[in-house]
Amino acid sequence: MLSILRPIFIKNPSLFGALNPRRTMVQKLTEEEIKTLETKSWALVPGRDAVKKTFKFKDFNEAFGFMTRVALRADKVDHHPEWFNVYNRVEITLTTHECNGLSKRDLDLADFIDKIV
């Protein structure tokens, strides 16, 4: 079935979420909820409806282990961060593309990330 619909998804990739059973309607966070993220030391990204945080580890192995734990959780909840890694530093940006802003998915993933650090 997907091979038949593939040209449709290439023109409109947002349609793919309609076939994904893990996807639900996503609502943007309120200003009050966004402040919750800021108090957890996640900084607003200038010019974007997103937050980011930088983590430093002892070495690359520790940073990669952290990224692996986040990746496993992100895949399980079907919400994937934007991130950048150099040696012992990992920078994570959270935003929800389905609602073009921050959502509860970002709050939940930020909470998980803060707990495992």
Residue 6, both tokens: 């593939």
Domains of the chain in start order, with CATH, are 26-116 (3.30.1360.20)
Q: What pLDDT, on the 0 to 100 scale, is given for residue 22?
A: 53
pLDDT tens-digit map of 72-115: 999 999 999 999 999 999 999 999 988 889 999 999 999 999 99
Residue 100, both tokens: 């073009």
- Over 60: is that where the pLDDT of 116 sits? yes
Report residue 29: phi and psi, to 5°: -70, 155
pLDDT tens-digit map of 8-61: 444 444 444 444 545 567 888 888 888 887 778 899 999 999 999 999 999 999
User: Residue 29: which residues within 8 A CB-CB, separation 6 or more?
Assistant: 37, 101, 102, 103, 104, 106, 107
Q: What pLDDT, on the 0 to 100 scale, is given for residue 31?
A: 85
